[in-house]
Structure formats: C-alpha cells, structure tokens
Amino acid sequence: MTTGALALIGMVAGALAPTKPAFAADQLTVTSTGGAYQTSLRKAVFEPFSKVTGIKITEDEYNGEIAKIHAMVESKSVSWDVVDNDMISVMQLCAEGLLETIDWNRLGLDRAKFLGGNNQDCGLPNFTSARVIAYDKDKLPNGPKTIADFFDLQKFPGKRGLRKEPRGNLEWALIADGVPTKDVYKVLDTPEGVDRAFKKLDTIKKDVVWWQAGAQPPQLLADGQVVMTSIFNGRIYDAVKNSGKHFEIMWDAQYLEVSVWTIPKGSPRLDDAYKFFAFAGSPKAQAELTDYLPYGPTNEDAIALVRPAMLPHFPNAPDHMGNALLRDAAFWVEKGDDLRQRFTAWLAK
C-alpha cells in the first residue's frame, strides 16, 4: 500500500470507523464503467474504504446508460447504492427526481472546493478528464498552439480527427472563430451563434476524419491518417507511457468533463453511501486515485497532494486551466436534442 493510502486511513479512521462489528448487511453495491478505470478505483478507493469502515464493497459494471437507474427507482427495487456517472446524465436524472439530493453539510465537505460542485445538486464530483487536441511530434515537430490552429488548413494542411458528435466541436468552432471561452455558451445559446459555429466547422469539414470509439484517435495518429485529432487525455497518456509514442497534447481550449458519484433515489443503504462519499471526496483519497490515472481530482485541496510527476498530465493542473472550457451540462440537457439533429443533418450534406 502506498504512503498516501496509509495517510488516508489515518485521517478518516476516527470519523468513519464502524460503531459496531461489521455484519453481512454492511455492504454497498458501487457501480462504475469497468476496465482499467474501475481497477484503479478498487485499489485507491474501494479497498481502503472497506478497511477503514468495515463496509464491504460489491462492484457492478455498466456502460453509462441511465435506463437501468430509471427502472430500479421506478420499481422501488434499487440494488445499486452508489453509481458513477457523467454530469449530463446526472442532471437529467436529478431533474426527474431519480437521485438523492446531496446534503453537503452531512458530508463534511466544502462544495465550493469541487470542480463542478456548484452546478448540480445530486452528485459528488469524482474526477475530471478532458477532450484535447493532440499530434505526433515525430511527424509534426512544430504542432498547433491554439484551437484556431486546428481550424487553420493553410498553416497545418492535412486531415484532422474529431469525435462524431456536436458536443465540444461546436464550442471549439466558436472559440476558433474568436469567441472568448467565458462567452461560448452565451453565444451558442442563440440561433446566430449556432449558425456561426456550423459555418466555422464548414471550413474544415472536407478534411475531418470522424471517430466514435476512444481507441480510434491514437490509431489515427499512429497510422498518419491525421495530422492532429481530438482525443481523451487518458488515451494520450496511455499511448506515451505504454506504447512509447511521441504524442503531444495541445491544452488550449481543452474540453473538461466531470465524473460524478450519485446515489439512486431509494437506496436502502443511504447512511453507508454517505460514508463512501465522505471518503471518496476527501483530498487524500482523490490524490491517491491519481497514482493510477491521469485524471485530475475535483477537490482543489487534493492538487497539492498528488505526485509532482503526475501533475502535468491532469486537465485541471494550474498550467492547463488558463483557457479551459468546462462543459455546460445544463446547456446540453436543454439544447442537446436539437443540436444533435442539426449536426446529423449537417453531416449528411
């Protein structure tokens, strides 16, 4: 066990230690999206939490779909006590009354210190990841410096990769067209702003290779099919660390997304779920998770506790936040259907 885990246990043992011996009923079913990410959660959060509290974690996995949460809550047969989700889904479920509202006073955590914490009421921000622009330094030694460079076919001729969806691409188009990051959603909330975003995308449409699965962008770069591409920051980290690629991230206008812990409405283990939240949201627990993943802790107090070698890989490292764009989940809940329809129609032209 790492030093961070031991320190974490010492910090929370008094507050979270069980007041009675652990029985079979003292367990939580925690659901996340599987793979290497869930393995990291197990090592950094689940196992230390169980050691401190005596509460057993039973894991489940899903693909992020919200239909099962709907079914569980509406049938009053909730078997998932804590669920890892994205902020857009959380806002949808929260608005429908399908998640527990979080009492931050009960958690003993400062909501204002969590990235995205003030944007919704039904979840605890877990970590932040980002969609970024990346390129292969071996093939493009002097790569892009701004999102405007991504749209500049004269300065950087060649194909570029983009995820096949409107989210992120419309925002980037506006920033590349001169809209300040802080004003992006104000502009995109108008018909003129939407037209402006699609007009900017028109300028590179014929040179875009569209991707859908996260494994595609690093392969597009490695094969030389694109000179640069949007990509999840974790994929770049993996390609560099484990595959020896000389890929480089351009952090300008990075598209930040936040993962959120939630409690389905009607969980029979609400008290234990709150104990889990208090543990998982603590600075030391969030810092411990970064030993395994290049995703930034959402609790700002955790930044000072992470290993210095990992800090440059975090989307929310201080050096990367100057022009970052936090995805506005409320905007996409309200406008997403209309913009997806227009995007699909635009692709087909």
Among all chains, which residue has been given the structure tokens 């090592």?
43
pTM metric for this prediction: 0.84
Q: Is the pLDDT of residue 15 over 80?
A: no
Domains and CATH numbers, the chain: 3-128+258-314 (3.40.190.10), 129-256+321-348 (3.40.190.10)
H helix or E strand, kind and range, residue 92: helix 87-95
Give per-residue pLDDT as tens, 272-303.
999 999 999 999 999 999 998 899 999 999 99
Give per-residue pLDDT as tens, 130-162.
999 999 999 999 999 999 999 999 999 999 999
Tally Cβ neighbours within 10 Å of residue 16: 18
How does the average pLDDT of the chain come out, rounded? Answer: 91
Nearest residue to 46 via CA among 336, 332, 314, 261: 261
Q: Is the pLDDT of residue 194 over 60?
A: yes
Q: Is the pLDDT of residue 22 over 60?
A: no
Distance CA 348, CA 6 (A): 55
Cα→Cα distances 286→22, 125, 261, 295, Å: 25, 10, 13, 10
Q: Specify the pLDDT at position 16.
A: 52
Distance CA 288, CA 282 (A): 10
Distance CA 329, CA 271 (A): 28
Q: Specify the pLDDT at position 58.
A: 97
Give per-residue pLDDT as tens, 63-91.
888 999 999 999 999 999 999 999 999 99
Cα of first residue to Cα of last residue in the chain, in angstroms, is: 56
Strand bridging mode 124-136 / 296-297? antiparallel
Tally Cβ neighbours within 10 Å of residue 74: 13
Q: Specify the pLDDT at position 338.
A: 97
Are 138 and 251 a contacting pair, CB within 8 Å? Answer: no
